[in-house]
Amino acid sequence: MKTPPLPLAEAQTRLLALAPSLAVEHRAVIECLGHYLASPIIARRTQPAAPVSAMDGYALRSAELPGPWRVIGESAAGHPFGGVVGSGEAVRISTGAVVPEGADMVLLQEDTEREGEILRLTGEPPAPPIRHVRPAGMDFAEQAVLIEKGLRIGPAQIALAIAGGHAHLPVRRSLRLTVIDSGDELVAPGCLPALHQLPASNGPMLCAMAAGLPVDICHAGPVADNLDALAGAFDTAAEADVIVTSGGASVGDHDLVRPALEAVGASIDFWRVGIKPGKPLLVATRGSQMILGLPGNPASAFVTAFLFMLPLLRAGLGARDPLPRAIHSRLATPMSAGGSRMEFLRARWDGASVSLDALQDSGALSPLSRANALVVREAGAPPKAAGTDVPVYLLENGGIA
């Protein structure tokens, strides 16, 4: 009896449980863009370390409003006032400068008038008086958790880590990925194919999808539909942490990925997932190496890469939440009833509603290039009218003005 395809959630859970465990290394902060933290980042200092002004103006005692005051000096960013603000005194202060001892408020420059050393209030004082003062520790305090384990490091996280006193961060080493195109019908990009041939576009597409992650990518192929050629390609990629193939994972006479994997000692963990497009998905292991066999149709390869390849890479790199998250958006047009499998329909999202592409064939690239979203249609779902909320996965897919 044939084993039924796995439900999507179960297949993803089984896949992520097999993700490679990569060594942790400490990299210079600026080299950590796109990585995931291997342990929490703890603040080594307080920011701001002392109360600072949020505006240009004058620091003084709020109890002495409405003045006047005598200006006794200046506090500039990087050059604090060295004395104490006493009764009836004020200090000229710049944005980001330390509020001097004795002062507890800042008057805005535009709300004052100064004649020599005498300062007078001409506008309204701030309410509350401390409005323009950033207290010590407003941003973070020493020993606070700045960035949690498993979160991705972007430009803001780089700045925060440096502000917290860190020059290096713990991240997992870059993941080694090999992408293999297979199929007798494929010719290398740039070659004009005969009528029975196709340009090998899936491999470059998959490499491009992975390029936003800290992954060292090797692209191999096209490899012929030949058991020895495929087994040789797998052996050449023996040092990769993850191998991703495109094509040859189905059940046809020339679909040889599965027997080639078995020939090189790999163990099949599961095969076939109950989704459309992308049913003939294969997951195998060879020692600590993961092999992911994706379908050959381009839309199927893209959808399964989005749902399986990218989460697997994120998990190996230490991501806390490797799976994509859906949002909800309303349909701009009606959606017909679902079939026997969960479907991922290519669509365009305009920020308010989502429109399904008229062409949903898994072999078509043009609707995929037009799409910036995948709409989820559950198995057996009833027809849905325009305006109905549906789950939507947003794509970073280019092509959208």
* Nearest alpha carbon to residue 55 among 75, 69, 79, 73: 75
Domain limits, the chain: 8-22+174-316, 24-47+141-172, 52-134, 327-394
Average confidence (pLDDT) over 167-194: 91
Average confidence (pLDDT) over 33-61: 97
pLDDT value of position 320 = 96
| CATH superfamily of the domain spanning 327-394 | MoeA, C-terminal, domain IV (2.40.340.10)
- For residue 399, pLDDT over 70 is answered with no
pLDDT value of position 272 = 93
My answer on whether omega of the bond before 295 falls inside 30° of 0, hence cis, is no
Measured between alpha carbons, how far is 217 from 101 in angstroms, rounded to an integer?
Answer: 57
pLDDT value of position 295 = 93
pLDDT value of position 198 = 87
| Token duo for residue 360 | 């949903």
Measured between alpha carbons, how far is 176 from 169 in angstroms, rounded to an integer?
Answer: 20
pLDDT value of position 226 = 86
Residue with tokens 């290039």: 369
pLDDT value of position 301 = 96
- DSSP readout, 311-339? HHHHHHTT-SS-S---EEEEESS-BPPP-
What is the overall mean pLDDT for the chain? 94
pLDDT value of position 249 = 64
Burial 80-99 (b: 16+ CB within 10 A, else e): bbeeebeeebbbbbbebbbb
Query: Residues 191-228: pLDDT tens digits?
Result: 888 888 888 899 999 999 999 999 999 999 899 888 99
CATH of the structural domain 52-134, one choice from 2.170.190.11, 3.40.190.10, 3.40.50.970, 2.60.200.20:
2.170.190.11
Query: Residues 271-319: pLDDT tens digits?
Result: 999 999 999 999 999 999 999 999 999 999 999 999 999 999 999 999 9
Beta bridge partners of 349: 354
| Token duo for residue 201 | 């576009």
Measured between alpha carbons, how far is 241 from 178 in angstroms, rounded to an integer?
Answer: 8
Kindly indicate the confidence band of residue 1, based on its pLDDT and cuts at 50, 70 and 90: low
pLDDT value of position 188 = 84
Query: Residues 223-270: pLDDT tens digits?
Result: 988 899 999 999 999 999 999 999 866 655 557 888 899 999 999 999
Q: Do residues 395 and 374 make contact, with C-beta atoms less than 8 angstroms apart?
A: yes
pLDDT value of position 248 = 66
pLDDT value of position 256 = 83
What is the DSSP secondary structure assignment for residue 367, as one 8-state letter? H
pLDDT value of position 251 = 55
Average confidence (pLDDT) over 129-147: 97
Beta strands in 76-227, from DSSP E residues, in sequence order: 89-93, 105-108, 112-115, 118-121, 133-134, 145-147, 168-172, 175-182, 186-187, 198-199, 215-223
Average confidence (pLDDT) over 370-390: 96
For domain 24-47+141-172, give the fold.
Molybdopterin biosynthesis moea protein, domain 2 (3.90.105)
Q: Do residues 240 and 20 make contact, with C-beta atoms less than 8 angstroms apart?
A: no
pLDDT value of position 200 = 85
| Token duo for residue 250 | 């189905």
Percentage of the chain lying above the pLDDT 90 cut: 87
Average confidence (pLDDT) over 98-103: 97
- For residue 401, pLDDT over 50 is answered with no
Confirm or reject CATH 3.60.20.40 for domain 8-22+174-316, answering yes or no: no
